[in-house]
A and B are shown apart, each in its own frame.
Chain A
Amino acid sequence: MSQGGYRRPHRWAWWMERPGYMRFMIRELTSFFMAGYLVVFLVTLSKVGAGDAAFAEWVDALSGPGWVAAHVVALLAAVWHAVTFFGAVPQAMPIFLGERRLSAPIAMIVMGYGPWLTVSAVVVWWILR
C-alpha cells in the first residue's frame, strides 16, 4: 500500500480479546440503548402534546410487559453509563484546591453522584408528590 504504511489487521471481534476491551464495548453499547430510549421519551412528550386521551392511552401501553422489559434494559444502560462516566471524572477533570488535588472519591461525589442523586430525587419527587 502506498499510503498510510502498515496497519495492524483489525478483527471485528477485537473487543472479545480481553475483559477490559469487553467492558469498554459494553459501555459503548449503552449509547445505542440510551438513543433508543430518548426516542421513547420524545414519543411520550409528543403524546402529552396530543391531549389527555392520547397520553392516557400511551401510558396504558407503557404498562405492558414488553415496554416494562424495555425500560429495565434502558435503566441498566443509563445507570451503567452514569456510573462509568462519573467514575472517569477524577481522571478526566482533576480538581485542585490550591496545590492539593481533590481525592478521587470526593471528586466523584461532588462532580457526579451528588448532582445525579439530587436531579433524580427532584424528578421522582415531582411525579410522586
Chain B
Amino acid sequence: MSGSDGRGGGRRARHSGEAFWWALFSAGGVMAALFVPAFVVVTGFLLPAGDPSVAAARAEAFGQAVGCWPVKIALLGVIALSLFHCAHRIRHTLMDFGLRRYSGLLKVPCYGGALAASLWAAWVLWGIAP
C-alpha cells in the first residue's frame, strides 16, 4: 500500500464524534451493570422497610454513605456514565424504530438530557451535608 507512510499524504483517519460517544458508552455500560441493580435493591426494597426504627437506621446509613466526599465523587462518575450509556442506547433504539433520519437531531434530547441530569446530580451531591 503506497501512501500510507503516516505523514498525512495518504489515507487520513476520519475523525467523527462517534468514537468519543463510544468510549462513554462502554464505560457507562460497565458502571450501570455493576451498580444499578444494587441501587434498585436499596431504594426499592431496603430503604422502605416496614418497621419504622429499621427504616430510620437504614435511612441514616444511606445518608451517611452519600454524605462523604469519596462516595459523592464516585456516585457522580457512576451516575453520569450510566446516563450517557442509556442515552446512547435510547438514541440508537429510536433510530432502529424508524427515526434514523433524525439521528443528528436525536442527539439533542438524548445526550443533552444525560448532560442535564449529570449536572443535576453534581448539584444534588454538592448540596448533601456530610
Measured CB to CB, the closest approach of chain A to B44, in angstroms, equals: 3
Chain B residue at smallest Cβ distance from A128? B46
Contacts A55-B59, A81-B32 given; indicate if A120 touches B41 (C-beta within 8 A). Answer: yes
A120–B36 alpha-carbon span in the complex (Å): 9
Binds A, one of B5-13, B14-22, B86-94: B86-94
Q: Are B63 and A71 in contact, CB atoms less than 8 angstroms apart?
A: no
* CB within 8 Å of A: which B79-128 residues: 79, 82-83, 85-87, 89-90, 92-93, 96-98, 100, 117, 120-121, 124-125, 127-128
Q: Is the interface of B mostly helix, strand, loop or mixed?
A: helix
How many A residues touch the partner, as a band?
A: 35 or more
Contact partner, B44, options A35, A49, A68, A129, Cβ 8 Å = A68
- Inside 8 A of A67's CB, which chain B residues have their CB? 44, 48
A28–B34 alpha-carbon span in the complex (Å): 17
**Residue A72, interface by CB 8 Å:** yes
A85–B33 alpha-carbon span in the complex (Å): 7
Number of A-B contacts (CB under 8 A): 153
Q: Are A72 and B90 in contact, CB atoms less than 8 angstroms apart?
A: no
Chain B residue at smallest Cβ distance from A7? B100
- Inside 8 A of B120's CB, which chain A residues have their CB? 42
A115–B79 alpha-carbon span in the complex (Å): 18
Chain B residue at smallest Cβ distance from A24? B96
Q: Are B39 and A31 in contact, CB atoms less than 8 angstroms apart?
A: no
**Residue B77, interface by CB 8 Å:** no
Give B contacts to A, CB under 8 Å.
Answer: 29-30, 32-48, 50, 55-56, 58-59, 61-63, 65-67, 75, 79, 82-83, 85-87, 89-90, 92-93, 96-98, 100, 117, 120-121, 124-125, 127-129
